[in-house]
Structure 1
Amino acid sequence: MSCRPELVTGYVDGALDAQTTAEIEAHLGSCETCRTQAGFERELRHRLAELPPPSLPLDLEREVRRRLEHPRTPILRWALPLAASLAALLLWGRGLPAFVAWELARDHAHCFSASRVPAEVWSPDAERIARWFESRGTMVPPLPSGTDGLELVGGRYCPLLDRFAAHVYYEGGRRQLSVFVVSGPARFEETWAGRSRGHSIRLLRSSGRTVAIVATREEDVEAVAATFTTSLAWSTPRRALVPPVS
């Protein structure tokens, strides 16, 4: 295996299947560069988990964008996407949806890429998918089985830096769509729409959760979003998202 920085990040996050994990571990045994990356990311995640919620200046979003677009010094080839991901981590709870959208679009693209991350449960049955998440402590809103040529195919847990999300896959021909259900604070409005990394994204908030819909085509996102508008008025708090049980 050649160096694959994005797979090293997935390995540290615990997001790879058993075969890819074994291949990465074998590669790490002979590649000092990738071992350095893995060690750095593990230590960084450990330190971030111990930090209190940050107090950030109001102009941080503009400054981070400027530095990412115009780096002053050469950096390791895996450090730029990692830096942007860390910005998303810091800004998620600050209510800056552009950074939330960037991180969600990155994960969606990674999961449907050539080195795609497989679902943990495969089924076109929305109730079965919901029961699978519920059995592991995660309540999701009623899921559509499909819409306008997109069909439900499966779901998985997705590590999004400082938290876990329920990630539901939809596919139809060459079109893919992701629905993420993410717990925790976010100070943006109840709904937000925009584009990031070439994808259309809609964020919905309800009962302390973000429901995020990501796809290349805006019409696909809006079609799925319409199915949620009548199902997100949860009257009582649901259980927090947790990592899958073994």
Structure 2
Amino acid sequence: MSNSQEIGLTPHQVETFINDGFVRVEDAFSRTLAQDCRNELWADMRLSPDRPETWTEPVVRVGWKSTPSFVAAANTPRLHAAYDALVGDGRWLAPQGLGTFPIRFPSRKSAEDDGWHIDVSFGTENPDFMEWRANVISSGRSLLMLFLLSDVGPEDAPTLLRKGSHATIARELLPYGKAGATLRQLSADGFASTEKCEIALATGAAGTVYLCHPFLVHAAQPHRGTAPRFMAQPPLVPSMEFDPTLAPSPVQIAIRQACGLTT
């Protein structure tokens, strides 16, 4: 177990996660690792940081990466302590890499992928991703994580986060029980139920990680800056099914509070 008193989250950060649906962890992994990861991704894309004339698309997507640099970035002592603090010691699986990577480039073209959504977590064997599902106990996903592999400022296409939207989604999922709801059902109204939430930007230096509640509503946006934005958006996968005999984790406390249950 990580020494959370030294490198983990503070009680205030945990409370922020419960209330807002995310917490920002600075210096979660080193800038050197971030650079190593970017170098591999440039090679995978067959593009160069020195040839901006070849950056012709607004976004290039790379899948899962399990080379040593990506495994190391996902498994620092600081992050392991944070996973323990939010999900519970022994209740998550150590990431075996990072992915996927929506690498965004400065562009006037629309990527047409900027709708509000949550990342659903099971039923992914269905070829229609709109039929993928989420349920109120968040089967298959403990956290949504945003790994900033480059410096991300307000103009660099930071992910948009609707603060507190995870509570609304928890209440909407409750009537569906363990079977859950499909992304098509959840997004029928464009997540209008969360449109009044305050919006936060997932900005930060390379090496920053946003640990987000699985139900947090978020969206992409166009890149208006000058340097490409490198980010990974993997799940943290649970090591076990929901066990009501265990003390609720902050992820579960947020759900229980939203649904009016005792914690």
TM-score scaled to structure 2, two decimals?
A: 0.25
In proportion to residue count, which structure has more strand?
1
Specify which structure has the bigger relative contact order, considering alpha-carbon pairs within 8 angstroms and separated by 6 or more residues: 2
TM-score scaled to structure 1, two decimals?
A: 0.26
In proportion to residue count, which structure has more helix?
1
